[in-house]
Amino acid sequence: MLRNTSSGYGRIAIAFHWTMAVLIVGMLAFGLYMTTLPPTAAETFQLYQLHKSVGFVVLTLAVFRLGWRLVNPSPKLPEGMHPLEKLAAHLGHAGLYALIFAMPITGWFMASASPWGIPTVLFNVQPVPHLPVPDALGTKEQAEAFFKILHKYGAFLLIALVVVHVAAALKHHFIARDDTLKRMVSTAPAKGDS
């Protein structure tokens, strides 16, 4: 059953959440690791290609997830939360959504702007076209450097938001002792549901 009542998430929303959580945390660690490798090594090239491929999987999932969420609104936040806490939670979630789109898109622009003109081939099978890079960004080197900065600081911001997100989920579970985390793990009816 695709449960999505006012107090719970459905199976699809839960599957999107955890699949994307694993992929995004993995991509953050993978991205930081691969940039420490010797840039001209063949293995580095393969790892960059894998990073780009998984990034497109994240972008595709993000599109479907947002579409799903628009049709199946998320359950309300717990009643006992302070209005400022609720505002912070909504802003945090909006920031996470923005960054799961911004990370792949800035990465795609970075690869498109690169003076090396390296093609992106998804999982070594499906070529992806380069995006048109605005002339206003200057030479290819300048445009690539611009998107590299966005991608890098976007990653740092995403790491910060993920840390706060996880801390908030744990606070709900262990301190407030409400169903916020449980309902993102299971579709079983929460306490007080009829």
Residues near ligand HEM, by CB under 6 A:
24, 27-28, 31-32, 35, 48, 51-52, 55-56, 58, 103-104, 107-108, 110-111, 120, 148, 151-152, 155
Half-sphere exposure of 140 (CA within 13 A, CB side): 11
Least Å distance between CB 11 and ligand HEM?
23
> Which token pair is 91?
């802003």
Q: How far is the CB of 57 from ligand HEM (least distance, A)?
A: 9
Nearer to ligand HEM, 4 or 49 (CB): 49
Q: How far is the CB of 102 from ligand HEM (least distance, A)?
A: 9
Q: Provide the minimum distance between the beta carbon of 88 and ligand HEM in the complex, in angstroms, as a whole number.
A: 23
The nearer residue to ligand HEM, 13 or 111, going by C-beta atoms, is 111
How far apart, in whole angstroms, are the C-alpha atoms of residue 76 and residue 187? Answer: 15
Quick check: 113 and 147 in contact, CB under 8 A? yes
- Rounded CA separation 142/14 (Å): 41
Give the position of tokens 């003109």.
117
Amino acid at 79: E
